[in-house]
Amino acid sequence: MKEQTEIRTLKVGRYIIIDDEPSTIVNFATSKPGKHGSAKARIDAIGVFDGQKRSIVSPVSAKIYVPIVERKGAQILSVMGNVAQLMDLNDYSTFEIEIPQEYMGKLEAGKDVTYLESMGKRKLDIK
């Protein structure tokens, strides 16, 4: 899911959609309006699910889509190699999610974890 907003309302740390990928804003700079044009904004962001750096330059009055990123809780049902089977704690649906390399030995069945969900994608979010 996504909603539309003006670029001037964005801040560092918020989410934005660049190239159909939810991204977190890491740098936001604006220029002054010139003699023949409007003020421009340069946004640098890092993808939430793929970690790629992306940037856009656009007028501050332009509209852009912002993803709705939900942080949810789940319980680990089983761990098989680099895939964990999770059960959502709200609607009790089960799904499989890939385990990132840095969490490989830390997950075990029965523990509760949090995950991010946006635009049909999921990612473990262990603090």
Band of pLDDT at residue 64, cut at 50, 70 and 90: very high
Band of pLDDT at residue 62, cut at 50, 70 and 90: very high
Average pLDDT in the chain: 90
Average pLDDT over residues 13-31: 93
Q: What is the pLDDT of residues 44-61, one digit of tens each?
A: 999 999 889 999 999 999
Check residue 101 and give its pLDDT.
83
One-character DSSP codes across 33-55: --SSS--EEEEEEEETTT--EEE
Check residue 23 and give its pLDDT.
94
- Residues 6 or more apart whose Cβ sits within 8 Å of residue 58: 7, 40, 41, 43, 64
Residues 61 and 88 in one domain: no
Question: Rounded to 5 degrees, what angle do the CA atoms 40, 43, 48 make?
Answer: 155
Residues 6 and 62 in one domain: yes
Check residue 54 and give its pLDDT.
94
Predicted TM-score (pTM) of the model is 0.81
Residues 74 and 17 in one domain: no
Sheet holding 15-18, edge to edge: 15-18, 21-30, 40-47, 53-59
Residues 18 and 52 in one domain: yes
Residues 27 and 43 in one domain: yes
Structure tokens at 29: 């700079």
Count of domains for the chain: 2
Residue 25's CATH number: 2.30.30.30
Cα(120)–Cα(24) distance, integer angstroms: 17
Check residue 115 and give its pLDDT.
92
Closest CA to 116 of 42, 22, 40, 12: 22
Residues in the chain: 127
- Asked whether the predicted pLDDT for residue 8 surpasses 80, the reply is yes
Q: What is the pLDDT of residues 100-126, one digit of tens each?
A: 888 887 888 888 999 999 988 999 887
Domain extent, residue 27, equals 2-67
- Asked whether the predicted pLDDT for residue 127 surpasses 80, the reply is no
